[in-house]
Chain A
Amino acid sequence: MTESPIEPAIDPAAIEKLRELGGNPFILQMLDIFTTYVPGKVHEIETAVLSGDLEAIRAAAHPLKSSASNIGATTLRTLATRAEIAAETGRHDELSSIAAALVTELARVTTALAQVRSTLTA
């Protein structure tokens, strides 16, 4: 893995875009959907990697990509793209480490989003 741990989990510009589009209520709406939708997708990838189900990995990674980019989770998006490509090209060997990195990155994103949320509700 070559991701720089210094890179912020969330790109503030993406959050700004959401604010322009629908103000704080819309940011909150997107964060809520993220919280209920995205962890499930990461979990699906983890499980599918264990069972070696490449199609299930691809199917979960694809929506994860756009969900991550909607809220500016740049690293999460990159990892999702890698998972999708690895599944499409049958590179089993890479998938375990990508899945592990996805879990770690999701935790980082969740923490960052909690911070965003606190600034909105404060």
Chain B
Amino acid sequence: MYLQLPLVQRALIVSVLIAFCSALLGVTLVLKRYSYIGDGLSHVAFGAMSVAAIVGLTNEMLLVLPVTIICAILLLRTGQNAKIKGDALIAMISVGALALGYLLMNVFSTSSNLSGDVCTTLFGSTSILTLSKEKVWLCVILSILVFIGFLFFYNKLFSVTFDEQFSRAIGMKVDLYHFLIAVMIAVIIVLAMTLVGSLLISALVIFPALSSMRLFKSFRSVTICAAVLSLICTLIGIIVSLLYSTPVGSTIVTVDVAGFLICFLAGKIRGGVRT
């Protein structure tokens, strides 16, 4: 019944692609101790989206995507060497963008349902169930680009993720790969806002990675398992939310949490729990 609805079909396609790509990059981010970057960037995207709405941009991606990419580059590149360290920088940008976005929406928006607007952006609300075909196309293209980028630069990303100093020593353009990671994660964050909202994006990035780390040890195994887990959890989450009238974003994240607990227990039983 539900699968006959065009908007549900679009939601499933987009959510599968977003879940898959976010899990791929999630492993790299978790291993590089940048788990919280998803949260920070999503708040930046929230601020940019508020500005785009107020300015009246027909396609908000024109503003949201560049701003988020720039912030991602700033966070990943200057985080290690700057006076303000990575975690503090993420917190600063995150809170600042969130506050600014909400302030702008409050001051300049003439919407009759401001709380609904904010709720939609923060928790995804029904955004994923009201996707236009243009947005589906955009998501498909960007997801494929991210996936191809990840596959193509897999070895380089692996190297940069595990030993940045060594990579630099052997002549790899580490900054370039940081840039690539920043662009890809920014794209995924912007896309994932539609699925789970800006407050829950971190879960989509880190839970599949952490869950698969309970079961597997190699980078490749963890990445593949994270992608599969993320797909399964997202599909279950959407189906449960449709059947039981629960909010899509929080249901997906709850399933991710359950998935983590299962993997944790499975890892304990196997005796292969990693710290």
Answer yes or no: are A and B bound together in one complex.
Answer: no
